[in-house]
């Protein structure tokens, strides 16, 4: 529920916007409430379906309000305010005095069906407030940053598709990672990579129901041939996510192209196998049982990793250049094998733990030999490269190497020295051209949270806390985070709200809480 207050020389009023979580009809509701004096408002509604291409057919409803139809879509707007057409928009003027309330209910429905019956906004507002108050009250986190954690958890819940449990990466598409640039992606899908982080966030905050739904979604989505595993799916597990460019749209601040769909769904990213296995290991650790069919599916994933961990891939950053032997991808292949071994050793599941342990050791040895640059004293982006990549900060966070390992400590220092701007961490230097795209993007907020985790694990608590507080200060007035931040212009960049950023915030807050065993420590011990 979003409340915004407006004041003028004549009065004070509150605008209340909300979406009822009833799971049935699809409403966006606005209530304008007079607080003192009297205020005059104008309302303007401009409806364009099909990403702005289609002007709908608008008619007045017999019971008041109007409906707008174009192809398969229809909207009904019901309000007591008088409306009329003006320049292909619907406009109206009204006043609210102290204590008066004017409601606007906008409802989507399939155009071949009759418009849904009118609803009363007031009981729906009460039900919405009750839902979120009770949901927030289930949070078990009581650390010093509870307000920030709660805001992020609410955001993750709002990004969850209730019927399936799928969590979308963001609710937007094509908000640019660099103003005027081409790094504009559609994030309205579910990434497997988010699975482990999200499970930790929900489970450690007391939300077992959401964690179970996400875990079930994950198993359904990855079912089938491991060779056909995708890095992302639709909210119901859809596999076909073709990428299209909408040339008729100028883009946010002229950042073109505007895209729908995401071609990265067709990429091979080895690390997601590790993320899935780690998520399933966490689920077992917190009491979510693995049935025989679920373990059989994981066995197929393990076999695939054994056969393909030596293959190059597109990596965590979904490069659109040539495949490489990315260090982070190999590390997460190690995680897949490590969690498979522990499934046998800790939970008694059936499998060849000895053979898996040998593969795990082979991966560790190869990464330490080929992924570490003695000249830079750092693990690099991919084998044979001297470029840095903040994704290797995950090494100590997943238990690949202890944070006390001199190579890990020196890597942290190199990243702090060469990949930071205003204390925030970049993914990598885009000018290297490895990703096949023009250079230019902001600092990457999840990577910045990973740096906080690494600093904290290495005993640099004051430095970690200061960096975390700096990150919290970057949130907008509603406590929301996008994917990136540009210190030069003081603005967030990329799609928003970004689940990956909010998940990272929650997990880092848990890491820094003296009353909790944090996700970084828990994952590193696995």
Q: What are the strands, taking DSSP E only, across 205-339?
A: 232-233, 244-245, 259-260
Q: What is the dihedral of CA 496, 501, 507, 508, to 10 degrees?
A: -120
Cα distance between the two ends of the chain? 38
What is the rounded CA–CA span in Å between residue 435 and residue 442?
Answer: 15
Q: What are the strands, taking DSSP E only, across 325-461?
A: 372-373, 378-379, 420-421, 424-425, 443-444
pLDDT digits (tens, 9 = 90+) for 362-376: 999 999 999 999 999
- Of 185, 229, 193, nearest to 214 by C-alpha is 193
Cβ contacts of 477 within 8 Å, gap of 6 or more: none
pLDDT digits (tens, 9 = 90+) for 309-336: 999 999 999 988 899 999 999 999 999 9
Banded model confidence at residue 516, pLDDT cuts 50, 70, 90? low
Banded model confidence at residue 525, pLDDT cuts 50, 70, 90? low
Higher-confidence residue of 186 and 219: namely 186
249-279 in b/e form (b: 16+ CB < 10 A) is eebbeebbebbebbebbebbbbbbbbbbbbb
10 Å CB burial of residue 8 (0-12, 13-18, 19+) is exposed
Position 23 scores a pLDDT of: 64
Query: Radius of gyration over alpha carbons of the chain, in Å?
Result: 25
Average pLDDT over residues 415-440: 86
At residue 254, does pLDDT exceed 70? yes
Cβ contacts of 33 within 8 Å, gap of 6 or more: 13, 14, 15, 16, 96, 100, 101
Position 392 scores a pLDDT of: 98
| Conformational region of residue 337, where left means phi above 0, alpha means psi within -120 to 50, and beta covers everything else | alpha
Position 438 scores a pLDDT of: 80
The token pair that represents 523 in the structure block: 């994952």
What is the rounded CA–CA span in Å between residue 233 and residue 520?
Answer: 27
Banded model confidence at residue 88, pLDDT cuts 50, 70, 90? very high
Position 484 scores a pLDDT of: 97
Question: How many Cβ atoms are within 10 Å of 405's Cβ, its own excluded?
Answer: 14
Average pLDDT over residues 261-288: 92
Position 42 scores a pLDDT of: 95
Banded model confidence at residue 65, pLDDT cuts 50, 70, 90? confident
Average pLDDT over residues 84-88: 91
Banded model confidence at residue 524, pLDDT cuts 50, 70, 90? low
* Whole-Å CA distances, 279 to 197, 211, 290, 298, 350: 8, 10, 12, 11, 18
Cβ contacts of 499 within 8 Å, gap of 6 or more: 155, 156, 159, 167, 168, 169, 170, 194, 198
At residue 432, does pLDDT exceed 80? no
What is the rounded CA–CA span in Å between residue 335 and residue 344?
Answer: 14
Question: How many Cβ atoms are within 10 Å of 62's Cβ, its own excluded?
Answer: 7
pLDDT digits (tens, 9 = 90+) for 334-387: 999 999 999 999 999 999 999 999 999 999 999 999 999 999 999 999 999 999
Q: What is the dihedral of CA 165, 167, 171, 172, to 10 degrees?
A: -130
Mean pLDDT of the chain: 93
Banded model confidence at residue 526, pLDDT cuts 50, 70, 90? low
- Of 186, 168, 190, 188, nearest to 177 by C-alpha is 186
Average pLDDT over residues 106-125: 94
Position 200 scores a pLDDT of: 83
Average pLDDT over residues 117-127: 95
Count CA within 13 A, CB hemisphere, residue 203: 24
pTM of the entire predicted model: 0.94
Q: If DSSP codes are grouped into helix, strand and coil, which group holds residue 373?
A: strand
What is the rounded CA–CA span in Å between residue 431 and residue 390?
Answer: 15
DSSP state of 118: P
Cβ contacts of 173 within 8 Å, gap of 6 or more: 184, 185, 186, 187, 188, 258, 259, 260, 495
Asked if residues 12 and 27 have their Cβ atoms less than 8 Å apart, the reply is no
The token pair that represents 99 in the structure block: 């204590």
Q: Which of 26-35, 123-132, 433-442, 468-477 has the lowest mean pLDDT?
A: 433-442
Higher-confidence residue of 208 and 100: namely 100
Does an H or E element contain 213, and which? helix 208-222
Asked if residues 445 and 439 have their Cβ atoms less than 8 Å apart, the reply is no
């Amino acid at each position: 529920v979003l409340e915004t207050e407006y004041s003028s020389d004549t009065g004070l009023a509150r605008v209340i916007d909300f979406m009822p979580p009833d799971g049935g009809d699809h409403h966006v509701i606005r209530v304008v409430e007079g607080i003192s004096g009297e205020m005059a408002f104008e309302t303007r509604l401009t409806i364009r379906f099909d990403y702005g291409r289609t002007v709908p057919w608008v008619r007045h409803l017999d019971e008041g309000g109007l409906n707008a139809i174009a192809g398969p879509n229809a909207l009904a707007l019901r309000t007591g305010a008088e409306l009329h057409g003006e320049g292909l928009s619907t406009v109206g003027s009204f006043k609210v005095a102290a204590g008066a309330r004017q409601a606007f209910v906008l409802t989507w429905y399939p155009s071949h069906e009759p418009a849904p019956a009118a609803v009363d906004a007031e009981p729906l507002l009460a039900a919405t407030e009750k839902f979120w108050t009770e949901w927030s009250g289930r949070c078990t986190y009581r650390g010093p940053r509870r307000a920030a954690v709660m805001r992020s958890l609410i955001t993750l819940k709002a990004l969850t598709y209730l019927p399936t449990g799928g969590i979308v990466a963001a609710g937007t598409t094509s908000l640019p990672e660099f103003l005027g640039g081409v790094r504009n992606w559609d994030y309205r899908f579910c990434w497997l990579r988010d699975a482990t982080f999200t499970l930790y966030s929900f489970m450690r905050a007391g939300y077992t129901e959401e964690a179970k739904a996400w875990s079930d979604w994950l198993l359904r989505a990855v079912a089938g041939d491991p060779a056909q595993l995708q890095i992302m799916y639709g909210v119901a597990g859809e596999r076909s996510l073709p990428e299209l460019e909408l040339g008729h749209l100028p883009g946010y601040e002229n950042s073109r192209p505007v895209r729908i769909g995401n071609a990265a769904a067709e990429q091979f990213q080895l690390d997601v196998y590790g993320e899935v296995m780690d998520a399933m290991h966490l689920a077992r650790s917190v009491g979510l049982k693995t049935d025989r069919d679920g373990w059989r599916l994981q066995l197929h994933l393990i076999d695939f990793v054994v056969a393909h961990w030596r293959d190059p891939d597109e990596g965590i950053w979904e490069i659109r250049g040539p495949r490489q032997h990315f260090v982070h991808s190999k590390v997460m292949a190690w995680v897949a094998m490590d969690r498979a071994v522990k499934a046998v050793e800790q939970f008694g599941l059936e499998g060849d733990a000895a053979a898996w342990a040998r593969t795990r050791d082979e991966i560790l040895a190869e990464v330490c030999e080929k992924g570490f640059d003695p000249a830079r004293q750092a693990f690099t982006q991919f084998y044979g490269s001297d470029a840095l990549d903040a994704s290797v900060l995950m090494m100590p966070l997943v238990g690949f190497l202890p944070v006390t390992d001199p190579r890990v400590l020196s890597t942290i220092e190199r990243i702090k020295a060469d990949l930071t701007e205003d204390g925030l961490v970049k993914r990598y230097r885009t000018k290297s051209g490895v990703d096949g795209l023009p250079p230019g993007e902001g600092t990457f907020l999840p990577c910045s949270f990973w740096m906080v985790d690494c600093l904290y694990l290495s005993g640099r608590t004051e430095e970690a806390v200061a960096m975390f507080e700096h990150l919290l200060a970057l949130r907008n007035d509603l406590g929301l985070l996008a994917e990136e931040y540009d210190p030069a212009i003081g603005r967030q960049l990329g799609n928003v709200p970004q689940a990956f950023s909010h998940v990272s915030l929650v997990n880092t807050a848990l890491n820094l809480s003296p009353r909790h065993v944090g996700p970084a420590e828990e994952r590193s011990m696995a």
